[in-house]
């Protein structure tokens, strides 16, 4: 079988989706012009770790797997059900590595455990691991996808050095429709920081500001846990989620040098309160592969460029057509 050629200029999402579906569908893929539109074009460390992890799962032959490479050839074999130990030497996102793996893991017939050493649980331009555990996994559970995990140690930019474990179980996917959010059942969250920030009470300050905004907006008293980790790098972040009758909505923010802890909490809470869809725009993007395989419909508050790019990539692998009507996304067989 020849290579399915994919233009990777749009960014890392194309890479993760392409190798994930390549392993799932057994279609070899060649990705060119990788991240050509970005200031630092080519493969970066977290893209390489994602490709390596998926390759280990399906014994794939891979070419072009090096930093700044502008192309990647990925030729998968059958998925092998075995536990994985993934080491990320940078502060690359654990969540983004898992994004690629979660697609072929749909096909497993026995449990697979994945242990991470290194990487980040909170980082820029990536969903925190707390988002996966408390927003994405529960949403995927509505499809029949069964996954769980835990953070052993948080990791922040620039060192990373997180530790986390996940378990994926055999699943039978079913179509799902999340068109209406429904009433609020609970609002919760995690405010995380490195142990070096415990004395200035960074986690508590992030939490306090988030609680204030949530209560003013909804009248609800949120439950937010404060967590300090013996992390290699100084850093912080907050993940919030709103559980409703039909869905889960998430919002996060990360701390940075010179950024007040109160600002971090305010950003996450304000974004959460501003969500208008049945799922947030980040969940909508990440649910697309599962919609393509199982079928269904979701409504999101915003159709992002990420969503549109992901749809174009998925449609190259799967005999489906996504229909966007307003802010609703529906999938049909093509």
Counting every residue written for the chain, the total comes to 334
Residue 236: what pLDDT?
97
- 327 in a structural domain: no
pTM over cut 0.75: yes
- 308 in a structural domain: no
- 126 in a structural domain: no
Q: Which domain holds residue 20?
A: 1-80
Task: Tell the residue number behind the tokens 């809470």, with chain if given.
Answer: 269
- 69 in a structural domain: yes
pLDDT at 90 over 90: no
Per-residue pLDDT tens over the stretch 235-254:
999 999 999 999 999 999 99
- 176 in a structural domain: no
pLDDT at 134 over 70: yes
- 6 in a structural domain: yes
Number of domains in the chain: 1
Residue 91: what pLDDT?
86
Residue 67's CATH number: 3.30.110
**Three-class HEC string of the chain:** CCCEEEECCCCHHHHHHHHHHHHHHCCCEEEECCCCCCCCCCCCHHHHHHHHHHHHHHCCEEECCCCCCCCEEEECCCCCCCCEEEEEEEEEEHHHHHHHHHCHHHHCCCCEEEEEEEEECCCCCCCCHHHHHHHHHHHHHCCCCEEEEEEEECCECCCECCEEEEEEECCCCCCEEECCCCCEEEEEEEEEEEHHHCCCCHHHHHHHHHHHHHHHHHCCCCEEEEEEECCCCCCEEEEEEEEECCCEEEEEEECCCCCCHHHHHHHHHHHHHCCCCCECHHHHHHHHHHHHHHCEEEEECCCCHHHHHHHHHHHHHCCEEEEEECCEEEEEEC
Sign of CA dihedral 136, 137, 138, 140: positive
Of the pLDDT bands very low, low, confident and very high (cuts 50, 70, 90), residue 1 is: low
**Higher-confidence position of 133 and 123:** 133
Query: What's the whole-number mean pLDDT along residues 7-29?
Result: 95
Catalytic residue among 154, 169, 271, 306: 306
- Asked if 154 is an active-site residue, the reply is no
At residue 20, what are phi and psi to the nearest 5 degrees? -65, -45
Residue 34: what pLDDT?
94
- 114 in a structural domain: no
Residue 232: what pLDDT?
87
- 218 in a structural domain: no
Query: What's the whole-number mean pLDDT along residues 172-183?
Result: 93
Residue 333: what pLDDT?
83
């Amino acid at each position: 079988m020849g290579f399915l050629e994919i233009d990777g200029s749009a960014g890392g999402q194309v890479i993760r989706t392409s190798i994930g579906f390549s392993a799932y569908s057994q279609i070899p893929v060649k990705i060119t012009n990788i991240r050509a539109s970005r200031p630092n074009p080519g493969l970066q460390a977290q893209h390489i770790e994602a490709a390596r992890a998926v390759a280990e799962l399906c014994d794939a032959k891979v070419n072009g797997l090096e930093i700044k490479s502008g192309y990647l050839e990925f030729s998968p074999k059958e998925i092998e059900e075995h536990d994985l130990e993934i080491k990320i030497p940078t502060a690359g996102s654990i969540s983004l590595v898992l994004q690629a793996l979660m697609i072929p893991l749909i096909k497993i017939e026995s449990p697979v455990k994945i242990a991470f050493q290194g990487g980040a649980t909170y980082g820029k331009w990536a969903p925190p691991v707390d988002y996966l555990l408390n927003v994405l996994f529960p949403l995927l559970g509505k499809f029949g996808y069964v996954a769980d995990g835990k953070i052993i140690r948080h990791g922040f930019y620039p060192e990373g050095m997180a530790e986390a474990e996940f378990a994926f179980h055999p699943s039978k996917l079913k179509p799902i429709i999340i068109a209406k959010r429904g009433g609020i059942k609970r609002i919760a969250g995690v405010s995380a920081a490195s142990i070096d920030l415990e004395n200035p009470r960074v986690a508590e300050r992030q939490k306090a500001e988030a609680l204030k905004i949530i209560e003013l907006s909804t009248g609800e008293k949120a439950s937010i846990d404060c967590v300090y980790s013996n992390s290699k790098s100084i850093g912080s972040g907050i993940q919030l989620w709103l559980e409703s009758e039909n869905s889960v909505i998430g919002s996060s923010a990360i701390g940075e040098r010179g950024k007040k802890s109160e600002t971090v909490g305010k950003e996450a809470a304000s974004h959460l309160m501003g969500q208008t869809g049945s799922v947030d725009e980040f969940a909508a993007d990440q649910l697309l592969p599962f919609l393509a395989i199982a079928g269904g419909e979701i409504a999101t508050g915003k159709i992002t460029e990420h969503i549109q790019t992901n749809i174009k990539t998925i449609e190259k692998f799967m005999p489906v057509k996504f229909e966007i009507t307003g802010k609703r996304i529906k999938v049909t067989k093509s």
